[in-house]
Structure 1
């Protein structure tokens, strides 16, 4: 049961008792399909329109940028993107090449988060 199967987001939403954070899984079946088909669907657009009315912030966790850029599917319905890069793993050249290939994304990037930073190896970041 999930959003991709035509369920209402209210049917599949989970609310954390500790934080009040509401999460809506797009796919709970474990079967990976063509995510860009779902992300660009009228159902996804309707979900995002309703979610924007209901919540102050709507965060969409998308697959990594790579051969298929799912971010392009939801770009028209978002205010921007936060690019997450893994410290020591994500080559700068790769990020530059992906953004060069999809210049529409560049205007939408609000910032970059560098995750999994090893502060012992990067003392200048402390």
Structure 2
């Protein structure tokens, strides 16, 4: 299975936090699965950290590598798809994650009620 972690899920995993369900933890830890973190999430973490809205020490891109996740770059197809989504989610980072999951046929792992209402992407709910 190919998974794309939402920014919150990536942060929880990196911190060893509890909000991730046992089933999702098992899916992320399964060596048969490929687990991606988007450049959009790294960008979001960097922006929020620089504005004091998020306490993240170190480099988010280094954390992707340290957790053995695969980086997912943003390409023109992703950008075009994110801009054209017929969906009213106001968060541009979440729109990009949905677009990337669609374009790359990835399952988006998240705990966002607005994303959960969107039916155009494979999803896995992260919280117990």
- Normalising by structure 2, report the TM-score: 0.27
Q: Larger C-alpha radius of gyration, 1 or 2? A: 1
TM-score (norm 1): 0.28
Q: Which has the higher contact order (CA 8 A, sep 6+)?
A: 2
